[in-house]
Every structure is written in C-alpha cells, then in structure tokens.
Structure 1
Amino acid sequence: MKKIALVFTGDEFADGAEIITKTLQTEKVKASFFLTGNFYRNASFRSLITNLKKDGHYLGAHSDKHLLYCDWTKRDSLLVTQTEFEEDLNANYREMAKFGISKADASFFLPPYEWYNKTVASWTKKENLNLINFTPGTRSNADYTDPEMGKSYRSSDEIFQSIVKYNETKPNGLNGFILLLHIGTDSKRTDKFYDQLPKLLRYLKTNGYELVRIDNLLKD
C-alpha cells in the first residue's frame, strides 16, 4: 500500500490543535508532531501534548528556541556554533522528557525553519539522531504565510491544489512523501489550511494512501 507521513511543526502557535486532533481521531490516522522546547514548555499546551501522546502520535524535537542555523542566502554560513546547537537541542529533549519522551523514543529530528546544511547534518548524526525534512514539490509548508508577505503568500486552495497536482502528475504520486503542515499560525493568516484537513485526508485515503507516523514511513 502507498504510504505518506503527515508531519506538523509547532513553536508559538497551536490554534489548529482542536480541529487537527479531532480530525485525526475521526479518520483514525496517526501523525507526527515536531515541537520546539518553547512549545513543550508552554503551560497552555500541556494537555494538548499529553493527549497527542496518549492518542499514539509521534512526538519529536524541532529545536528548543527555534534557532536559525544558517544564513538564508548563503547556506554554508553558520549562525550557531556546535556547542550552541547541542545545548539548544538537548534543552528541547529535556522538555520532552517531562512528558516521558526520551531520545530513544524520538530519534528523528526536524530542524527549525526546515533549514540546515551539511555541518548541521553531521552534528545531528553525532547526537545519534536522524535529521529529516519535508519532501519538496508541494506548497504545504507555506500554510503559515499571510497576505502581508506579498508574493510568498499561498492560499489554502492553492496549497491543496498543489498537493493534488503532485499526486496526479508524478509517476509515484505522493508515495513515501513527508507532507509538512503547521499546528498553528499567526492570526494575520485568516485562511487556515488546517480547516482543509478533513478534505485532505479523505482525498489521500480515496487515492489509496495509508497515513503513517514518521517512524513507520522511515523504519527501513
């Protein structure tokens, strides 16, 4: 069966949590959530995290303070030292440990901003972690954009259609895909893509996809 992993990242916002968790429960789907230390520390998110774990979703690390590791225009230019990287990452896992999640439980690491270079990848490996990223080709990761961003803004309809187009035009469709979304976004974005989640899951299931956790997708 074709497989796809639905991955949600979170730092300061979680406004989509209610519809996301309810939809996943209704559709009997397991997803993966990569959250920063900021998110795990937030008292208002505590019950959400507990329930996500109880429901059997994957909970992983996304850095402690959501650091930008390297320059946007000159990717090989690091903005953090190895020590800063390690201390920040370990702080993220310390917050996760408060929810009973160890490094062994969550060996997949999704870098903040989904932006890194070879050096960061090597540092991650030294921590005995597996660095992952979203699969490029759709606009799903732009679900955080808002109209004030100008040309970078992507509407929910545009995002949805980009997923459909990829599935229908690529030889393997979305099989093996890591589809990244956000658990919450700034209030400046009123066209919330997470409202499309029920429609998206129905589309994927209708097209023969099994939605699995990241550790299931990448277990081989």
Structure 2
Amino acid sequence: MHCENHPERQAKARCQYCWKPLCLDCQIRVKDQLFCSKRCHTLFQIKNIWLRSQQALFRHNLYLRAKTEHLNRYSTFILIILVVAAGAISLYSATTEERYTPSLYGHSMSKEASSPAAPPAVGSAKPLGKPLGADKPLSAKEHKFSSARPSVGWAKMDLRTEPERNSIGGLADAEEICSNFHIYLAQNRVKQPYYLVDICGNAPPNSIIALYKNDRLCDTVPCKGERFLFPRIGLDRNRNILQAKLITADGKLCYSNTLELLVDKASSQVTEKGLDIKRGDINMAKICLSFDSGENADAAPLILDILKEKQVRTTIFLTGEFIRRNPNIVKRIVEEGHEVGNHTDTHPHLTTRSEGGRLVKCLPGVDREFLHRELKKAEEAFYHLTGKHMSHYWRAPYGETNLEIRKWAEELGYIHVSWTCGRDWEDGLDSLDWVTDPSSGRYHTAEQIRNQIINFGQGTEFGANGGIVLMHFSTYRPHQDKVYLQLPEIIAGLRAKGYEIVPISQLLEGKGIDSNRWAKKGRLRQAGR
C-alpha cells in the first residue's frame, strides 16, 4: 500500500475520514487521530457531531416506542371495561323513572324541564366538549414532535423472539430485507490494536444501522449505498456478542445475524465463533466453482472431465453416503487434486425457518452430539477410503445452519462455507441447478445461469472477487437444460475477465483465516476416527 500523495513511498496509516493511505510526511495528528488535511479533520468533527445527534434521536425513539407499546398492552382491556360500563349506565338509565342527562355545559337537567338550558353564569364550569387549551394552536416545536411520534412499538432487542424480530410488515419484505442484512469482520489493511475491529455489512440504501455489543448500543451509522462500516469498535476482554439493528427509510425494522468475538490477550488475536463464509477476499480476482454431492453421481464423471480438461482445481463437498456409494469417483477427485469438504453423512435437515425466512431453531433431535456424529461419520468414510483427511471446511445440507450449529462444528475444527448470496438471485452465485420445475418462478435456463455467473458484479467496485458459486454433482433438470453442460463456457468467460478459479482454501488466503490454527482444532475429530 503506497501513499496517496507520494506513490513511491510506503503508506503507514490512513486518514481517519477519507481513508486515504498516508506516509509519515503526509500525516496530520490531532488528538491521537491521523488526517490528510484540515478539511478532513473538520468534516470528521462534523460527522461525529451528527452521529452523536443520531444516537440521541435513536435512544429517544426507543423510549417513545417502548412507552407506546406498554400502553397498547392495556388498551384493549380498558376499551372492554369502558364499553361494559357504558352499557350498564345506559341500561340503568332506561329503567329509572326520572332520567337525568348531562347538558351541553355540564349541568344536569330533569326530564320534565321543557325549557332549554341557559348558558352558564360567569365563573361556572367550562364546557366538557374539549380539554383545557384545546383551542390554543400548537407551537412549531409541539407540532414537530406530535407529527414525528412513532406509531409502532419497539421493544428491547433481548425481549423479542426471532420470528417477531423479522416480521416487517409482510413476509415478502422480511425475506427480502433480512436475507441481505449481514454483518461481518472487515479486512483491516491498516495496523491497529488487536482489540479494535472494523465491522461492515450489507443493507438497503438510505437506512440507519445501529450496532449493539452485549445488548448495549455501540454506534449508529447511515447506509447511503448498499454497504456500511463501523470503524474501530472496541472489544471487551472476554466475550463480545455483536448484532445490528436496521431501520429502513420507510420505518421497517430488521435484525442482522449475530457475531460472537473472543479476545485472546495472550496471543493478541480476535477469534470469531460461528463463522459463515459467503465470500472470499474481495481484493483478489479469484473465484471458486464449488460443488455439492447429491443423491446420485450421474453428472460427476462429465464434470470431472471438464475440470480436468480446463485444468481447474476446486472444492467439492461430499456426504458419507456418496463416498460409500461412489468410491471410484471419490478416489478420482483426490487424485486430480481437488479439495474435499464435509457435507455431513446423511444430508439431513438441521433447522426450522421463521416467518421472515431466517434459519432460527434446530429441529428436534438436532443437537451437538447429532451434528458431531454426522460430521465424524463422513470424515471416517473418506479417511478409510483414501487414507487422507477432509479439509477443515464444511457446508450444511440445504444451507440450513445457525450460530449454534456452526459453533458445534468448530469444536471439530470445521469452518462453515456457504455461497455468495444477495437480496435477489441476480445478486448471488447460486446456480439454482437444483430447481427442476420449469414452471417455477425460481427456474432459470442454463444459458441464463451461465450469463449470471460470468457477469456477476459487473460494473461494481470489486466485481466478482472472492465469489463462491454453488453447483451440484446431480440434477433432475431436463437433459437439454443441464447447467453443468455450460461449464466450459463459464470457465472461459471468467478467465477472459481476469478471474482465477481456485479452491476455497486459496480463496480465503486474504481474509486472515489461519488454516493451521483450524487444523490444530481438528485434533478432536481425528481422535474420533
């Protein structure tokens, strides 16, 4: 990394505001913070003032919404009591000989009284039709707060269930927004203390993001584009659970995934628990064409032939059942240098789905022992056949995983690898070759899928860098529309754009994931052979 103003010099830091790389001569230090100019320092102060005001407004809205929700709990009960009371009074009045009714001015008037009520005398009670001061016009300040008063209750984060968190005024909206709202550790290119981390993520444009650490508000930032960043978040000494809250421009609410970070003071490292890799290093022009084994191996020989002809090494996730049924294909995969990941033994479903489409709870019977058994059996089948261990990557069947499941797998040394996905199919790299019904709205032709993979990220800052494509060894699509038949053109198209097709291990080299450390954590799974 070279200085912005002096390209021949090595940069030592970045400007706190514009993030330009700076050498020692270009740095302006103000209260332990570095800037490239006085203008950036002034803009940084303005930004901090604006962020503090947003945080204050954020807390004020939290208080008002919580109070509103508290009052709404009793509104139905109070309404029932009032209706019953009004009915009882009406019934009682109908049965009495003399009926008294309140006059317009608050005086009682007998039924026999034939003359209209006289206006009240000076000093008598005011009319009951309006409260005191009702005729007084609102000030500008009062009108502002009355119009901005929230209409939907907003409870604290730890008091809501997961389905309630993701109900954003409609199932379609919830699936669309929550599926794209993720936070993860940013790749720090500037050296900073190990206990300070940058948290970034994806969110809808023109929204406000609030970051919580251990259920406490940490910072708020606006999301102008589709990416946001929380710089230099200080971590506690032991456990740090991070989650973000999103408010869209039209007031919809959503919660992100959860990150659990542990600070190891002895090694000066921050360890992320429950990793879910969806993309590799976005600063390197590399991409992975990953494959999952299916119920059969009808397409496996042809796929391997194409990969061998095009000199492509990739990562293939195998189940234990596939290994036992197709030993010759598995041996060929190893001989041709492909990386083998764990896809469990029997390919079971693992989680349920909430109303918002998010994976929430483990299915009955899915616990730590069940997952360990599934992963170990697949590992054993592979080791007994090839004499080698699987890589320390695994992929959950159907992509069904949550933080708890991923932490159980990490106990055996496995990191979970998903695939690159986004808000819509056009924003991800799922080939959808498992969708077999042409009448389905999710069905795309092989040519459409080929063009989507080749042109993914075109026109964006990072393109398809670090992308992970999902494909399968078997498919029940019509013969003339099988996706793997487009592999030669996909490989040629990606290479023509300058991408190198690599296995997962090479794709993650720039993300700071130490494969040796995870291999050491896998001693438990090796001992369980």
Same fold (TM over 0.5): yes
Of 329, 333, 346, the residue aligned with 1:65 is 346
Aligned-partner residue type, residue 198 of structure 1:
P
> Which residue does 1:170 correspond to in 2?
460
Indicate yes or no: 2:398 matched with 1:92: no
- Count of residue correspondences: 216
Aligned-partner residue type, residue 381 of structure 2:
E
Whole-angstrom distance in 2 between the partners of 1:138 and 1:157: 16
Q: Aligned-pair distance for 1:129?
A: 1.3
- Secondary structure of the 1:101 match is coil
Of 303, 316, 319, the residue aligned with 1:20 is 303
Q: Which structure dedicates a bigger proportion of its chain to helix?
A: 1
Indicate yes or no: 2:336 matched with 1:49: no
The structure-2 alpha-carbon separation of the partners of 1:77 and 1:190, relative to structure 1 and needing over 3 Å to count, comes to farther
- What's the C-alpha RMSD, in Å, of the aligned pairs? 1.8
Q: Aligned-pair distance for 1:101?
A: 2.6
Which stretch of structure 1 is more off in the superposition, 139-148 or 45-54?
A: 139-148
Q: Aligned-pair distance for 1:148?
A: 6.1
The structure-2 alpha-carbon separation of the partners of 1:159 and 1:138, relative to structure 1 and needing over 3 Å to count, comes to farther
CA contact (8 A) 2:434 2:477 kept: no
- Aligned runs of 1:4-19 on 2, under 5 Å? 4-19=287-302
Is the radius of gyration larger for structure 1 or structure 2? 2
> Which residue does 1:159 correspond to in 2?
449
Q: Aligned-pair distance for 1:149?
A: 6.6
- Secondary structure of the 2:360 match is coil
- Secondary structure of the 1:140 match is coil
In structure 1, stretches of 5+ residues that fail to align are none
Whole-angstrom distance in 2 between the partners of 1:188 and 1:84: 36
Of 82, 107, 127, the residue aligned with 2:368 is 82
Write out per-residue CA displacement over residues 79-127 of structure 1, whole angstroms, 9 at most, x where no aligned residue: 112211111111111111122232xx41011111122111111111111
The structure-2 alpha-carbon separation of the partners of 1:191 and 1:145, relative to structure 1 and needing over 3 Å to count, comes to same
> Which residue does 2:398 correspond to in 1?
113
Indicate yes or no: 2:435 matched with 1:150: no
> Which residue does 2:388 correspond to in 1?
101
| Percent of aligned pairs with the same amino acid | 27
Write out per-residue CA displacement over residues 119-166 of structure 1, whole angstroms, 9 at most, x where no aligned residue: 111111111211111111335341111116722322212212222342
Which stretch of structure 1 is more off in the superposition, 147-156 or 86-95?
A: 147-156
Q: Aligned-pair distance for 1:187?
A: 5.5
Q: Aligned-pair distance for 1:50?
A: 0.6
Q: Aligned-pair distance for 1:48?
A: 1.1
Aligned-partner residue type, residue 377 of structure 2:
A
TM-score by length of 2: 0.39
Whole-angstrom distance in 1 between the partners of 2:403 and 2:480: 36
CA contact (8 A) 1:14 1:185 kept: no
- Secondary structure of the 1:147 match is coil
TM-score by length of 1: 0.91
- Aligned runs of 1:22-37 on 2, under 5 Å? 22-37=305-320
Aligned-partner residue type, residue 217 of structure 1:
L
For CA contacts below 8 A with separation 6 or more, give which structure has more relative contact order: 1
CA contact (8 A) 1:13 1:186 kept: no
Write out per-residue CA displacement over residues 29-53 of structure 1, whole angstroms, 9 at most, x where no aligned residue: 10111011111110xx211111110
Aligned-partner residue type, residue 405 of structure 2:
V
> Which residue does 2:20 correspond to in 1?
none
Whole-angstrom distance in 2 between the partners of 1:176 and 1:139: 11
Aligned-partner residue type, residue 404 of structure 2:
T
Q: Which structure dedicates a bigger proportion of its chain to strand?
A: 2
